[in-house]
Structure 1
Amino acid sequence: MTKSAGSRRHLPSSPFNRNAPAAPPIEQYTVGDRVSHDQFGLGRIIAVEHDNAAVLVDFSGRRGRIASPFAKLAKL
């Protein structure tokens, strides 16, 4: 008697684990939000691209475009 592939058990660290936790949701920003960036410091959101693909941030005179998933950007 053979077992089907659907009934096999996988180790918790296996990439084939069906019960893998979902990725955390991507932070949503709006124009005017105050933010902190690991490299550039404090800033304010001045533009948000379509579907939060990227944000344009003013870091006290220096502007930077930060792409999603905003790993180094935190809302204050």
Structure 2
Amino acid sequence: MGLIAMSERDLQRIEVLSKVIAGRMTLVSAAHVLGLSTRQVRRLLERIGAGGAASIRHQAIGRPSNNRICDGVRDYA
């Protein structure tokens, strides 16, 4: 498998979630450290279980914004 670019936030999430999986940190304390709700931490743990650590990366990386201005309008302005 190739290299996957991740942000510092994603790397911190993987580190904290791996502590939860290993049993060295509770779900509540992980939610507090990450600034998320316990429900969101459970959702991230399910994503790691299904797709591995690479699934934590933001899904919209490399895609154009949904809120971008059309080329024609931008050129006209």
**Alignment TM class, shorter chain as reference:** under 0.3
Tell me which protein shows more strand as a share of its residues: 1
TM-score, structure 1 normalization: 0.24
Tell me which protein shows more helix as a share of its residues: 2
TM-score, structure 2 normalization: 0.24
